[in-house]
Amino acid sequence: MSLSVLPLSQAHLNLLETCPRRFQYVFDQSLAVPPTPQGQDAALWGNQFHLLMQQQALGLPIDVMATAHGDLIARVEALQQRAPQLFHTDASEQLRQSEHQRTLAFNGYVFTVIYDLLVLTANTGLIVDWKTYLMPPPRERLTFDWQTRLYLYVLAETSGLVPEQLSMVYWFVRHRDDRGETLPPSDYRFGYSQPQHERTAADLRRLSNRLSEFRQRGEFPQTPHIERCDRCPFQIRCQRWQRPDLSTDLDAIEEISLG
């Protein structure tokens, strides 16, 4: 059976590597996961921030939105104070573009990346990504995340620059301390190298080969039962929902506030 060409993103790769069965539910069967109210609010804030940064990159005024989006404007201004180079074009730049999209055909699939900001010179390539988490993840997690790996890989394959000339930076613009106070923007920076590029190519081939096998069989395997299964919205569908132990002393269960 011939397989149709499937477009893949870093989100596909992360989920495929974490749990093929959930990948099947979300991307193959299009089963939606209802967002929480907190998740909806965070997504809306993040989308609006990305839109503001895109407007700024296009030279459009954003101060007219200050009344309705004061917190967003304040975060943009804080980022401008922390990293003014992100807001000014240098004479050496050959390309500076917000929401820049690139595609790469690889092993029967088309990989798509969208850079929040891409800055290219004759000898360097910089990928910038805005993160609006309230708490940044550990740096090591982003080191091995497919967003970092795929974004750098695709740029190396499509720009004519060698891996050592490329870098990627995540800017955390909304994170807070333990008391809930908003902190100044901070960043994680990642370089790149030819050995990293070769490892990513090998892992991309391995994962895409596995995906082709799953699609040919029409069956995506479950992962071994792990802790995150208990928080997965598909735990009942996967028959991994555990009935509560009714022999438990109910008086010992901590009260959950609904207020």
pLDDT of residue 36: 79
Which residues contact residue 3 at a Cβ distance below 8 angstroms, ignoring those fewer than 6 apart? 108, 212, 215, 216
Q: Number of helices and strands (H, E) in the chain?
A: 7, 6
Average pLDDT of every residue of the chain: 87
Range 102-130 average pLDDT: 97
pLDDT of residue 37: 80
pLDDT at residue 230 is higher than 70: yes
pLDDT of residue 255: 40
pLDDT of residue 250: 41
pLDDT top residue among 207 and 229: 207
pLDDT at residue 185 is higher than 70: yes
pLDDT of residue 73: 87
pLDDT of residue 2: 61
Full-model pTM: 0.87
User: Which residue type does 41 have?
Assistant: D
**In the structure encoding, which two tokens stand for residue 203, read together?**
């892992």
Residue 125's pLDDT band (boundaries 50, 70, 90)?
Answer: very high
pLDDT top residue among 150 and 248: 150
pLDDT top residue among 60 and 64: 60
pLDDT of residue 259: 37
Q: Where are the alpha helices (DSSP H) in 19-68?
A: 20-23, 37-57
pLDDT at residue 162 is higher than 80: yes
Taken in order 52, 58, 59, 60, the sign of the CA dihedral is negative
pLDDT at residue 249 is higher than 60: no
Range 83-103 average pLDDT: 93
- At 126-141, the pLDDT tens digits run 999 999 988 999 999 9
pLDDT at residue 258 is higher than 80: no
Helix (H) or strand (E) holding 172: strand 166-172
